[in-house]
A and B are shown apart, each in its own frame.
Chain A
Amino acid sequence: MSKDAHIRTPLARVRGLGSAKSGTTHFWHQRVTAIANIPLTIAAVIILITLLGRNQAAVAQILGSPAIAMIMLLFVASICIHMRIGMAVIIEDYVHDESARLTLLMANTFFTAVVGLAAAYGILKLSFGL
């Protein structure tokens, strides 16, 4: 089959967005967040270790301090985006029933949004002392 016999229009090919209309967006976001997750996870683990054995007041003060809070907020945001894309791939791979797949994909979005917001709220509350 020659190139001219391709079913897609030249414009569609040039846009390269495929049938889902989003092209490689998820692939790319998964890599961007993967790279962001490396330093953020290392930082979060180091922060966690320094907090071990301290009492609640000290933990709250350190976690709520500007630099630490910002690192943790970035950590939460990056892992939640990464989690959502990763779990969507798992669901799309194994759940073949249309309605079950759509339900789980929606639940995946809700779960990651709620967990991400809950964690971010927890950090902000420590920072602003509400």
Chain B
Amino acid sequence: MAETKARVERPLSPHLQIYRPTLTMMMSIVHRITGFGLYFGTLIVAWWFISAAGPNGYARFEWFAGSWIGRLILFGYTWALIHHMLGGIRHLIWDSGRGLGPTEREWLAAANLIGSITITAILWIIGLLAMGGSV
């Protein structure tokens, strides 16, 4: 090319900020964010396995898991895991061609959110009881 023309202002397709936020849109964004978070959360899973080899290492892991910041991260990890799993099941239903109608997709999104919060709460109640109520 002999010369480069000045950039032409072309119309762009509307992006996120143009649209009114909807539940299905938010769930789609949250699915990606939870996946991103879980990616780094796997470091904790690897640390847990490695630490179990000896008492000193495991004590360090337990100290982290019992600290308020550790609890917060693990609670977030639990919710992200359950939310991403339920969201993934929703995507698999969509892959089969089902659940894409205007009413189904709305209740699937709602079920995703309510389900993830409920299951996370139940898991933590069971977990804290299993630890002998040492909250």
Residue positions of B touching A, CB distance < 8 A: 32, 35-36, 38-39, 42-43, 45-46, 48-55, 58-59, 81, 85, 88-89, 91-92, 95, 123, 126-127, 130-132
Contact = CB atoms under 8 A, between A and B. Distances in A.
B39 A49 contact: no
Contacts of A31: 92, 95
Nearest to B119: A45
Main secondary structure on chain B at its contact with chain A?
helix
A85 B130 CA distance: 35
Given A53-B131, A83-B38, A60 B53 contact: yes
Interface of A: 31, 34-35, 37-38, 41, 45, 49-50, 52-53, 56-57, 59-60, 63, 72, 76, 79-80, 83, 86-87, 90, 115, 118-119, 121-123, 125-126
Interface centre among B48, B88, B89, B123 (most CB of A within 10 A): B88
9 contacts: A52-B130, A53-B131, A56-B58, A76-B46, A83-B35, A119-B42, A121-B50, A122-B49, A125-B53
A38 to B, nearest CB: 6
B25 to A, nearest CB: 16
Most chain-B Cβ atoms within 10 A of its Cβ — which of A31, A56, A57, A123?
A56
Q: Pick the most buried of B36, B42, B54, B91: most chain A CB atoms within 10 A of its CB.
A: B42
A53 B132 contact: yes
